[in-house]
Amino acid sequence: MVLNSPRGTADLYGKELTYRNFILEKSKKLFNRFCYDPIVTPAFEHTEVFSRSIGQATDIVQKEMYTFYDKKQRSLTLRPEGTAGVVRAVVENKLYAQNLPIKLFYAGNMFRYERPQKGRMREFFQLGAEAIGSANPLMDAEMIWLISDLFSSLGFKDLVLLINSMGCTLCRKSYTQKFQEFLHHHQEKLCPECRHRLDTNPLRVFDCKRQSCRHAIEDSPKISQHLCSSCRDHFEKVRRYIKILGINCQIDHSLVRGFDYYSRTVFEVVSTALDSAQNALGGGGRYDDLVKQFGGPDLPAIGFAIGLDRTSLLMQQLGIKPSASRELKSLYLISMDQQYSEYLLELLQFFRKECICDTNFNIKNISKELKWAQKHHYDFVAIIGEEEFKNCRVSIKDMQKFKQHAFDWKNEKDTILALLRGN
């Protein structure tokens, strides 16, 4: 008798693997350019790692986890996603005791007991990025930039980026009450499961795929319209920054995503070419309270993950072919004041097209920053101080030749490129 692989799993070989390896290679190069370091965490964790973070009332925790007891009767779970394990690892190994934010990326198989169909598997593959230790809206913009560059570097053109803000614990609390009141008035239109969610975790009603429930909440109050002033300001800045980066997005007031850990910015990349239930290629958001919940310090964080299965499927469906690429120089961009953020973004965008480039998300003194860049073997350091900002100039220091050059940012881009390329 021939044995089959379990339902919802697949053997990967030939053309399918060529696509996946291409996606992995491209994304590793991109993560390197944005200065994210790799991390590998276990494929299974203590069940609590997921139940505590993802949320008891979520579909994942209630219905989709592969949980088992080992021979010593410890409850373990195959990871349904990567964020919780990364946060657990960061806290356990005190990875936060270094220059913040700490920026990590990972790739691996995840497991969810879902109803298998095209683009929805029980074992599936994700690659993701997490940045821990900065509340700066620039960090949100970098994540959104990363996910959107990832898809465009793979050859996608017409994907849609949805964005929303979930607010912080404070504004979400008062919003949840309003939403709950609304649901109470419309509970006869909800499915039995959502009627239960109404009392346990009302926001999870947004995750229900049933048409009747979606219909029932169409006119409900929306969280992004009930943000406190600090969350509103944060959300406005994120949208401004991604606009400067030339990234188009649509605000989706119903986007809450299926995890309890999110706060403030959430986003998703969807394709209209895929079946609507599986149209999300990737998504993420802020989770400012999670590190603390895991027993670590109070560190804000943000991340995203994309699904390899769906991405590869859509590439093949759209006829996008894997293609071939050069050795890159590295540059560390130092901004001396948060006021220069918009100018900084413009420069970052330029440098990251050309070389491996990172910036200081948290402002510190210049000599510390220079030492840090030297220790990390950057080829160049570019500085934006008051003088550069006011006169629209940029100073670039060649760390090997110990030479500094000053450029007129608007008119000398070609000369800057020649310097970076060593011409």
Measured from the CB of residue 372, what is the shortest distance to ligand HAM in angstroms?
A: 26
Contact flag: residue 101 with ligand HAM (CB under 6 A): no
Contact flag: residue 334 with ligand HAM (CB under 6 A): no
Contact flag: residue 154 with ligand HAM (CB under 6 A): no
d(Cα 365, Cα 335) in Å, to the nearest integer?
Answer: 10
**What torsion do the CA atoms of 187, 191, 193, 197 make, to the nearest 10 degrees?**
-30
Question: What burial class does residue 307 get, using C-beta atoms within 10 Å of its C-beta: 0-12 exposed, 13-18 middle, 19+ buried?
Answer: buried
Q: Which is nearer to ligand HAM, 130 or 379 (CB)?
A: 130
Binding residue (CB under 6 A) for ligand HAM from 41, 77, 126, 134: 126
**CA-based max dimension of the chain:** 77
Q: Which stretch binds ligand HAM (CB under 6 A): 68-76, 81-89, 205-213, 406-414?
A: 81-89
Could you tell me which residues come within 8 angstroms of residue 247 by beta carbon, excluding any fewer than 6 positions away? 144, 145, 148, 161
Measured from the CB of residue 17, what is the shortest distance to ligand HAM in angstroms?
A: 17
Could you tell me which residues come within 8 angstroms of residue 391 by beta carbon, excluding any fewer than 6 positions away? none
Q: Which is nearer to ligand HAM, 126 or 224 (CB)?
A: 126
Hey, which residues does 408 pair with through a beta bridge? Answer: 393
Measured from the CB of residue 307, what is the shortest distance to ligand HAM in angstroms?
A: 2
Q: Are 68 and 115 in contact (CB under 8 A)?
A: no
Hey, which residues does 103 pair with through a beta bridge? Answer: 131
Binding residue (CB under 6 A) for ligand HAM from 45, 81, 142, 207: 81
Alpha helix ranges (H) inside 259-363: 290-293, 308-318, 341-354
Q: Which is nearer to ligand HAM, 22 or 304 (CB)?
A: 304
Q: Which is nearer to ligand HAM, 118 or 215 (CB)?
A: 118
Q: What is the DSSP string of 89-147?
A: HHHHTTTTSSSSSEEEEEEEEEE-----BTTB-SEEEEEEEEEES---HHHHHHHHHHH
Contact flag: residue 137 with ligand HAM (CB under 6 A): no
Looking from the CA of 124 toward its CB, the CA atoms found within 13 Å total 29
Q: Which stretch binds ligand HAM (CB under 6 A): 146-154, 160-168, 279-287, 386-394?
A: 279-287
Contact flag: residue 359 with ligand HAM (CB under 6 A): no
Contact flag: residue 112 with ligand HAM (CB under 6 A): yes
Backbone angles phi, psi at 77, to 5 degrees: -140, 135
Contact flag: residue 128 with ligand HAM (CB under 6 A): yes
Q: Which is nearer to ligand HAM, 256 or 345 (CB)?
A: 256
Contact flag: residue 284 with ligand HAM (CB under 6 A): yes
Q: Which is nearer to ligand HAM, 216 or 313 (CB)?
A: 313
Q: Which stretch binds ligand HAM (CB under 6 A): 31-39, 123-131, 227-235, 248-256?
A: 123-131
Q: Which is nearer to ligand HAM, 81 or 379 (CB)?
A: 81
Contact flag: residue 85 with ligand HAM (CB under 6 A): no
Binding residue (CB under 6 A) for ligand HAM from 283, 351, 361, 389: 283
d(Cα 24, Cα 29) in Å, to the nearest integer?
Answer: 9
Q: Which residue number has the CB closest to ligand HAM?
A: 307
Q: Which is nearer to ligand HAM, 300 or 307 (CB)?
A: 307
d(Cα 194, Cα 198) in Å, to the nearest integer?
Answer: 6
How many whole angstroms from its chain centre is CA 371?
A: 29
Binding residue (CB under 6 A) for ligand HAM from 28, 29, 46, 120: 120
Q: Which stretch binds ligand HAM (CB under 6 A): 116-124, 209-217, 386-394, 404-412?
A: 116-124
Q: Which stretch binds ligand HAM (CB under 6 A): 97-105, 202-210, 278-286, 315-323?
A: 278-286
d(Cα 87, Cα 50) in Å, to the nearest integer?
Answer: 11
d(Cα 98, Cα 26) in Å, to the nearest integer?
Answer: 28
Contact flag: residue 124 with ligand HAM (CB under 6 A): yes
Alpha helix ranges (H) inside 323-422: 341-354, 366-375, 386-391, 413-421
Alpha helix ranges (H) inside 201-340: 211-216, 229-244, 290-293, 308-318
Measured from the CB of residue 290, what is the shortest distance to ligand HAM in angstroms?
A: 9
DSSP state of 156: -
d(Cα 234, Cα 66) in Å, to the nearest integer?
Answer: 37
Binding string to ligand HAM for residues 285 to 324, with x set by CB under 6 A, is what? x-----------------xxxxx-xx--------------
Q: Which residues bind ligand HAM (CB under 6 A)?
A: 81-83, 112, 114, 119-121, 124, 126, 128, 130, 280-285, 303-307, 309-310
